[in-house]
Structure 1
Amino acid sequence: MIIEAYKDEYQDGIIQLIVGIQRSEFNLDITADDQPDLMNIHNFYVTGKGNFWVAVDNDQVVGTISLLDIGDDTVALRKMFVAESHRGKDKGVANQLLTTAFDWAEANQLKAIYLGTTSKFLAAHRFYEKNGFSEIMKSALPERFPMMAVDTKFYKRECSE
């Protein structure tokens, strides 16, 4: 398994992974059309201090993570998804994806990483908290934070100065 920066050749696999998890596992009424960022990943995420990474195993997309530049040396963590077959501490895919994002944040001298998630992603809440994120009130989010309709829980992680 490798983790690499976004390439157009992965777009279809990314959409299948993300929408599949959202709809099948969490019964969210969301489609690819509801997420225009997925149709233009390069221009949406790979700008400023943002980026998008893909975990690939045997030419199949098995994980994603992105950092969206929201200004003032801050980013929003978005689109962190791992295929069910590649989840778990023993697989380490989620940790590798998050480490990649943290390394990027440090190299780009970011101040903080924010994220929003649904209350349904209980395992994700524990994962974020174990990795230095603290829950915050919606009112504490930066003005440019990209709110999703399904977001009900919010987190912040300070980056090293």
Structure 2
Amino acid sequence: MSTAELLAAARMRLADAPREGLGELVEPRRILGLSRAPRIVPRGTAWHLGVLLLTDDAVLATGDVLRARAEARRGFTAESQRRRAELAAAARRGGFTEGAVVHLGWRMLDPDAVDRGAASGPLAGVDGVPSVRWSASGGYQPLARYLDERVALLLDPPSGA
């Protein structure tokens, strides 16, 4: 089965499953020399399947994941915490609802390249089998098995998740 066929089958199984927002960071132009706060604007929705984001017509590699929330003054012990809070506030300013999951920094993948034996992000053709690398240090596993597992988790999450 080709990569595109595996992804199409997953889309059919996920038809009623919840989706998460895709966002893009927009740095507004200065007006009269004054800068405005950046926003993360909506760019669609996708099903989150581990290292993959599946849309109606594409497959993407995940980037950063955050929850939109209103801006609040907080003390931070690390600069990375401050940056994540700024991004969460930018998502809220951009139109995402409070608490919505937003994916930022995602990348388009090429399923046809995988079928030709090349790699595209975490996807690759391994011995003629579409496969996915679920972590930077992990090995490849067949995409069909990975999608079955991830779709099942999304449709029926463990209690407490």
Q: What is the TM-score of this pair, normalised by structure 2?
A: 0.27
Which structure has the larger Rg over C-alpha atoms?
2
Larger RCO: Structure 1 or Structure 2 (Cα < 8 Å, ≥ 6 residues apart)?
2
* Bigger helix fraction: 1
Q: What is the TM-score of this pair, normalised by structure 1?
A: 0.27
